Structure 1
């Protein structure tokens, strides 16, 4: 099987990828998340996931590279990832008592020359959308939460994989790993397309 690189050093994404039993290297992407004006939140998630994978393609030309990103969608508006605890608290205050969508995109970039893969097929991606409803929260509860999890850089100002589950009344999803940031079911499907499948004895797994 091909060498695998994860374009992320997030401990949460690494923990998810570890569940697949793959040997991989985690490398920080060389990519700046700047959303073009007018781009939908879902399209932003795809753009950023693909951009992260592509940013490592030159330095890791022999590897299959995985990129992922999340975009929080409030009535069609992209809610940018908070850079401070105050911004995280402001986002949660806006989300309290409301429903929103979390778009998680995963992209896989194949190396040049991979057998049976054309140039047009070297980058593939999928998106999983999870619908969540935040319960009504007081400002004191919001402040307590952000002090507990310190969700700087996390879409919506929350970390579901830590104390974040306390924030929600309802979560509708097809793949719970998407909430954490790396949807494993579509990722496995994309990797199989590039010949990475530990269950395929012909691949040497």
Structure 2
């Protein structure tokens, strides 16, 4: 089996990937998250996930590389990840009382030595979209939450994997792993296309 590299240093993504029982390495992607002007949020999530995986291809030539990213979509507008607590509070202020879409993309890049089916690309990706509605919040509530979770660099200015569920009235999707940042069912689907399947061994007699 080929080595697997997770192009992320997020402890939350690592905790999710641990659930699959695969041996893997972790590396920080050499990728700048700069979205081209006018790129739709869903396309941005996919491009960033693919970009993170591809950024490590040269340094990890013999590995399957997993990249993932998220983009928050507020009525078609991409909200960039907050770089400070003030920006996180401002984003939550905009989201309060409103619905938004969180697009989470996962990509897997295959090494040159892995044989593929005819026409199969070496980089595969899927995007999962979750619809969330933030409950009405006043400025004091937002400030208390931001101080609690310090969600700098997190799409929307919240961390669902920590105290974030207190912020929401409704979440519409069956896969909570997508909200955290690494949708496991699509990831397993992509890995199987590259031959990684712990259940693919013959059943014992």
Q: Does 1:151 align with 2:148?
A: no
Counterpart in 2 of 1:58? 58
Residue correspondences, number: 202
State the Cα deviation string for residues 136-172 of structure 1 (Å, max 9, x = none).
0010000000000000000000000000000000000
Report the Cα distance in structure 2 between the residues aligned to 1:140 and 1:157, rounded to whole angstroms. Answer: 15
Report the Cα distance in structure 1 between the residues aligned to 2:157 and 2:67, rounded to whole angstroms. Answer: 21
Q: Does 1:41 align with 2:50?
A: no
Deviation at 1:68, TM superposition (A): 0.2
| SS of equivalent residue, structure 2 residue 35 | coil
Mark the runs of 5 or more structure 2 residues left unpaired by the alignment. none
| SS of equivalent residue, structure 1 residue 159 | coil
Report the Cα distance in structure 2 between the residues aligned to 1:115 and 1:47, rounded to whole angstroms. Answer: 24
Counterpart in 2 of 1:199? 199
Deviation at 1:175, TM superposition (A): 1.1
How big is the alpha-carbon RMSD for the aligned residues of Structure 1 and Structure 2? Answer: 1.0
Mark the runs of 5 or more structure 1 residues left unpaired by the alignment. none
Report the Cα distance in structure 2 between the residues aligned to 1:137 and 1:97, rounded to whole angstroms. Answer: 7
> What TM-score does the superposition give when structure 2 sets the normalisation length?
0.96
Report the Cα distance in structure 1 between the residues aligned to 2:69 and 2:91, rounded to whole angstroms. Answer: 18
| SS of equivalent residue, structure 1 residue 114 | coil
Counterpart in 2 of 1:184? 184
| SS of equivalent residue, structure 1 residue 121 | coil
Structure 2 counterparts to residues 81-92 of structure 1, below 5 A: 81-92=81-92
| SS of equivalent residue, structure 1 residue 128 | strand
Q: Does 1:141 align with 2:141?
A: yes
Deviation at 1:200, TM superposition (A): 1.2
